Amino acid sequence: MECAIEVENLTKVYGDLKAVDNISFKVKKGEVFAFLGPNGAGKTTTVEMIETIRSPTRGRIKVLGQDVKKSTKEIKERIGVLPQEFISFERLTVRETLKYFSNLYKKHIDIDEIMDIIDLKDKENELYMNLSGGLKQRVGVAIALVNDPDIVFLDEPTTGLDPRARRDVWNAIAGLKKQGKTVFLTTHYMEEAEYLADSIAIMHRGRIVAEGTLDELIQKYGKRSTLLLKGGRAEEAAEALKENGYDAEVVDGDVEIKIVKRDAVLDILFYLREKGISYREVDIRHSDLEDVFLNLTGEKLAEET
């Protein structure tokens, strides 16, 4: 498959700081690629080098087969960019805003078409300053589309939004993929990467520490699933399970059993019934990207909004 973006041994140094430290990765055409990592990881620096806005200290970047150093102008025409914490003209309406940005490019698509894709039609005459945070971000995504780009870069498009507004922006992003666009999404929200991304690269302190699909990452770096038994005689249950070779322990009054094979859950429940040990509730906890990140870095991926 042809690549939308190829990055090789990319480094960016600021004084003593290696903001981006020798990273390499590829983004396939038509996929949503998420660059996931905490604040300060080097995501914006990387994405702005790909967008031809910052120049690398070392390394090579190809966008749509062209070198960013040589073909800056051509690349700019073919990509759309929503910068981090973007703010537009306060006293322009949505339609005026899109018209303004659209006129900056040689090639542009119909503004009504963009408003359809991003679901902004009924807001077209509202002033930007009067829009909610979620709508402002959707206008930002719409601006990134005015030149009908092949690749759309969205840097932290939902930071600070409430869950409902975040979901609306997610729907807009999912719509871009349906349009056949490649989406490069930068985020520190693992749910966002989980929900939207075909491929995920996890960035930490300037380096890519892991890369793959969600399933691949969880399989490789996640914890095993855990069966939880709540509201029973936990000590007794844990002892009985340990005697039978299970990895069980009591945590906060519940029994936690590490699951190795899928069938183990049924085996455990049958075994406890045979033993006459009862409990009130059963729950299964699967691993998520948070576990993956913790496992890779020893740190938690901050979940503040």
Ligand X SMILES: Nc1ncnc2c1ncn2[C@@H]1O[C@H](COP(=O)(O)OP(=O)(O)O)[C@@H](O)[C@H]1O
Least separation, in Å, of the C-beta of 39 and Mg ion?
Answer: 7
Quote the tokens at residue 150: 């092949």
Q: Does 175 bind ligand X (CB under 6 A)?
A: no
Residue 175 interacts with which of ligand X, Mg ion, none, CB < 5 to 8 Å by class? none
Closest listed residue to residue 200, CA positions, set 192, 117, 79: 192
Least separation, in Å, of the C-beta of 36 and ligand X?
Answer: 10
CA pseudo-torsion sign 259, 260, 265, 269: negative
Nearer CB in complex with ligand X: 79/227: 79
- Is 253:232 a contact under the CB 8 Å cutoff? no
Question: How many residues bind ligand X, per CB under 6 A?
Answer: 11
Nearer CB in complex with ligand X: 44/158: 44
Region of 245 on the Ramachandran plot (φ > 0 left; ψ -120 to 50 alpha; else beta): left
Closest listed residue to residue 148, CA positions, set 77, 244, 82, 42: 77
Residue 137 interacts with which of Mg ion, ligand X, none, CB < 5 to 8 Å by class? none
Least separation, in Å, of the C-beta of 45 and ligand X?
Answer: 3
Footprint of Mg ion on 27-56 (CB under 5 A): 43-44
Residue 151 interacts with which of Mg ion, ligand X, none, CB < 5 to 8 Å by class? none
Contacting range for ligand X; rule: CB under 6 A; set: 14-22, 111-119, 139-147, 270-278: 14-22
Compute CA distances 97 → 43, 93, 153, 155, 170, whole Å: 27, 6, 19, 20, 22
Q: Which residue is nearest to Mg ion (CB)?
A: 44
Nearer CB in complex with ligand X: 78/207: 207
Closest listed residue to residue 21, CA positions, set 73, 67, 58: 58
Nearer CB in complex with ligand X: 24/130: 24
Residues in contact with ligand X, shown as a per-residue x/- string from 19 to 58 under the rule CB under 6 A: x-----------------x-xxxxxxx-------------
Q: How far apart are CA 176 and CA 180, in angstroms?
A: 7
Helical ranges in 68-202 per DSSP H: 72-78, 94-102, 111-118, 133-143, 163-178, 190-196
With tokens 């996931």, the residue in question is 36
Closest listed residue to residue 24, CA positions, set 190, 201, 228: 201
Q: How far apart are CA 140 and CA 81, in angstroms?
A: 9
Nearer CB in complex with Mg ion: 22/84: 84
Q: Pick the binder of ligand X from 14, 104, 267, 283 (CB under 6 A).
A: 14
Nearer CB in complex with ligand X: 35/221: 35
* Torsion angle of the four alpha carbons 169, 170, 173, 174, in this order, in degrees rounded to the nearest 10: -140
Residue 89 interacts with which of Mg ion, ligand X, none, CB < 5 to 8 Å by class? none
Least separation, in Å, of the C-beta of 50 and Mg ion?
Answer: 13
- DSSP β-ladder status, 79-82 and 151-155: parallel
Q: Residue numbers of the site for Mg ion (CB under 5 A)?
A: 43-44, 84
Q: Which residues bind ligand X (CB under 6 A)?
A: 14, 17, 19, 37, 39-45
